[in-house]
């Protein structure tokens, strides 16, 4: 009896003093007004220009976590700070449950605390169905007017070759690849094209808090190759002239909720830099600690921390392309997070004959939405071997996702005035199963040539009724307009009126404006027209 009592005491003590992961959700951002008045202190000009182009206003989600709050949490007894998110106004911490609980009573700026083990959260009903936790290498191979060479099928299947022939190869577009590592990207000849053209803009290892991003697992190198790789007459990525940021957030030695927080940090960094497209060939369902694992019910786009962050990322004007997952032939057959997020562009996998790959994860989401969105070549797809630099085949939605991400960037290059949501809709509507989606095919394989021609035709029928020149402009902007101009207003990136003229003059002096992107609004009678211009 004494032995049994001792065992129970030890078990209870172990529970009390075990380390838990949690997110501290903060109430506010006291410095918000200062940041919003000085947007370049939190976002780059390119990021602000992307917002202006899509008419997306800045808000408190763009404001950094309040430094005083962060430092107080960091200095709390028994608490380790691991990550933070301005979008979710959250700090990821680790510590004993009692120490974490004490934060709420110590600091009045805390709104709530969310434990990764949701059974510890007050008044929370958690499904008892958990995926059995067993760590495995999520990146192991799934069994199963260029000369495009070996990559011909993955390019031509979605008609990315049509875009390339039109000159849309991703030039001027920025893509962030968030992955597990990028070893040898700095030396392999397959990446010489982007290196020589200064297309690698930077990167960061969030796992090790290091500026050395040419390290880690080779998965990211393989993924990047399907977007940017180039070997003459042998291998071509879908956006060989795009520019790239390379971010490491995946720790292959562990599987835990911290990786979701690190991904959100990388997505926030991407947004602040002005990135257009993010590729995420990662997904989260099962963690080493089974108490942290997600259930299918969590795949509703609103529960997982990473999915909540992804939704905000899309609301900032980026396109987030994400692999559906490789669990289609496993007990967990469903999509993972953040592929469940409503606004994320989720990609499944087919083979060269456009037959679904058995490993490609299933939709719908837990709340009944169609996922994946579209499909691309992901079975026996070619990637660049990170050691030899030679093309070799691999399998996974990890590769159908970058094939599509590069194509999305090239397509967006063709229609730069379109919003991220419009671009995704155009591509989705061109897919072969758009009128009859299924749980594993989603909307099917898209046809970018069809999407291009349909969009071009639509634009021809809906042309702006006035033109401006020169654009970019240095001093005087000239308006070409057939009707009488009653009023001209120029708005800044924050939507603030910076110029107004109620005469009918068609020449505007903009020499006093700062460099950047502006919106010109013209009123003629009851008609109001808007157009973007750049002040140089």
Angle of CA points 472, 478, 481, to nearest 5°: 120
CB 375 within 8 A of CB 347: yes
State the pLDDT confidence band at 142, using cuts at 50, 70 and 90: low
pLDDT on residue 141? 55
Which residues of 309-440 form beta strands (DSSP E)? 319-323, 345-350, 374-377, 381-384, 391-394
Q: Do residues 400 and 347 lie in contact, with contact meaning Cβ atoms separated by under 8 Å? A: yes
In this structure, whether the domain defined by 466-535 belongs to CATH 1.10.443.10 is answered with: no
Tell me the C-alpha distance between 511 and 87, whole Å.
Answer: 36
Q: What is the pLDDT of residue 15?
A: 47
Residue with tokens 């991003």: 213
Q: What mean pLDDT is predicted for residues 168-174?
A: 96
Share of the chain above pLDDT 90, in %: 76
The architecture (CATH level 2) of 14-120 comes to 2-Layer Sandwich (3.30)
Question: In the prediction, which pLDDT does 189 show?
Answer: 98
pLDDT band of 504, cuts 50, 70, 90: low
pLDDT of residue 91: 98
pLDDT tier at 375 (50, 70, 90 boundaries)? very high
Binned at pLDDT 50, 70 and 90, residue 152 comes out as very high
Per the prediction, the chain carries an average pLDDT of: 90
Mean pLDDT of 259-274: 98
pLDDT (tens digit, 9 = 90+) per residue, 203-224?
999 999 999 999 999 999 999 9
Q: Do β-strands 374-377 and 466-469 pair in parallel, antiparallel, or remain unpaired? A: unpaired
**Which tokens in the block code for residue 157?**
């299947």
Residue ranges covered by each domain of the chain: 14-120, 149-459, 466-535
Domains 14-120 and 149-459 share a fold: no
- Quote the pLDDT of residue 497: 86
User: What number is the average pLDDT over the span 408-436?
Assistant: 96
8 versus 122: the higher-pLDDT residue is 122
Closest CA to 37 of 532, 491, 495: 495
Give the least confident one: 77-81, 235-239, 481-485. Answer: 481-485
Spatial separation of the C-alpha atoms in residues 503 and 260, rounded to whole Å: 54
Is 80 exceeded by the pLDDT of residue 123?
A: no
Confidence of residue 132 (pLDDT cuts 50, 70, 90): low
Instruction: Measure the CA angle with vertex 267, ends 266 and 271; round to 5°.
Output: 115
- DSSP one-letter code for 292: G
User: Positive or negative, the Cα torsion across 243, 318, 160, 221?
Assistant: positive
Q: What whole-number distance in Å separates Cα of residue 379 and Cα of residue 358?
A: 9
List pLDDT tens digits, range 444-468: 999 999 999 998 887 655 544 677 8
Provide the 3-class DSSP secondary structure of residue 476: strand
Residue-level pLDDT at 144: 43
Q: Which residues pair with 517 in a beta bridge?
A: 534
Tokens of 452: 């291009």
The predicted-structure confidence for 381-421, as pLDDT tens digits, reads as follows 999 999 999 999 999 999 999 999 999 999 999 999 899 99
CA distance 119 to 92: 18
Residues contacting residue 10 through CB under 8 Å, at least 6 positions apart: none
Bridge partners (DSSP) listed for residue 374: 347
| Position 200 pLDDT exceeds 70 | yes
Question: Check: CATH 3.30.360.10 for 149-459?
Answer: no
Over residues 285-312, the pLDDT tens digits come to 999 999 999 999 999 999 999 999 999 9
Is the predicted pLDDT of residue 477 greater than 50, yes or no? Answer: yes
């Amino acid at each position: 009896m004494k032995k049994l009592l001792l065992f129970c005491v030890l078990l209870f003590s172990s529970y009390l003093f075990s380390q838990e992961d949690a997110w501290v959700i903060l109430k506010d951002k006291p410095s918000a007004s200062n940041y919003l008045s000085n947007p370049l202190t939190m976002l780059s000009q390119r990021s602000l220009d992307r917002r202006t182009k899509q008419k997306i206003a800045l808000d408190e989600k763009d404001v950094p976590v309040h430094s005083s709050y962060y430092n107080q949490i960091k200095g709390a007894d028994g608490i380790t700070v691991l990550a933070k998110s301005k979008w979710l106004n959250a700090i990821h911490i680790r510590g004993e449950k009692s120490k974490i609980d004490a934060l709420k009573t110590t600091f009045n700026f805390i709104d709530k605390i969310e434990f990764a083990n949701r059974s510890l959260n007050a008044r929370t009903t958690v499904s008892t169905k958990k995926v059995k936790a067993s760590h495995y290498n999520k990146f192991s191979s799934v069994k199963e007017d260029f000369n495009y060479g070996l990559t011909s099928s993955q390019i031509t299947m979605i008609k990315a070759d049509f875009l390339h022939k039109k000159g849309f190869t991703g030039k001027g577009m920025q893509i962030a690849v968030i992955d597990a590592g990028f070893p040898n990207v700095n030396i392999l000849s397959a990446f010489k094209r982007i290196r020589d053209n200064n297309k690698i803009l930077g990167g960061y290892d969030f796992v090790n808090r290091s500026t050395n991003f040419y390290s880690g697992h080779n998965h990211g190198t393989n993924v990047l190759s399907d977007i940017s790789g180039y070997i003459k007459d042998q291998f071509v990525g879908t956006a060989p002239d795009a520019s790239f940021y390379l971010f490491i957030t995946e720790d292959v030695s562990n599987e835990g909720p911290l990786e979701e927080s690190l991904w959100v940090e990388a997505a926030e960094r991407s947004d602040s830099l002005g990135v257009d497209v993010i590729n995420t060939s990662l997904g989260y369902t099962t963690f080493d600690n089974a108490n942290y694992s997600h259930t299918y019910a969590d795949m509703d786009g609103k529960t997982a921390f990473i999915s909540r962050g992804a939704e905000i990322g899309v609301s900032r004007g980026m396109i987030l392309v994400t692999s559906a997952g490789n669990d289609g032939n496993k007990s967990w057959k469903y999509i993972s997070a953040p592929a469940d997020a409503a606004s994320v562009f989720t990609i499944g996998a087919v083979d060269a004959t456009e037959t679904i790959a058995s490993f490609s994860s299933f939709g719908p989401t837990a709340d009944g939405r169609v996922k994946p969105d579209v499909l691309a070549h992901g079975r026996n797809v070619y990637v660049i071997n990170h050691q030899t630099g030679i093309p070799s085949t691999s399998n996974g939605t990890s590769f159908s996702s970058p094939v599509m991400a590069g194509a999305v960037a090239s397509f967006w290059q063709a229609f730069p005035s379109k919003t991220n949501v419009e671009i995704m809709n155009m591509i989705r509507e061109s897919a072969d199963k758009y009128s009859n989606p299924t749980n594993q095919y989603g909307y099917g394989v898209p046809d970018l040539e069809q999407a291009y021609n349909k969009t071009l035709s639509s634009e021809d029928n809906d042309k702006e009724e006035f033109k401006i020149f020169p654009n970019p402009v240095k001093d005087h902007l000239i308006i070409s307009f057939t009707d009488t101009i009653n009023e001209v207003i120029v708005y800044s990136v924050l939507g603030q009126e910076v110029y107004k003229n109620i005469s009918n003059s068609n020449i505007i002096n903009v020499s006093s404006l700062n460099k950047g992107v502006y919106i010109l609004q013209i009123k003629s009678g009851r008609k109001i027209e808007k157009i973007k211009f750049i002040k140089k």
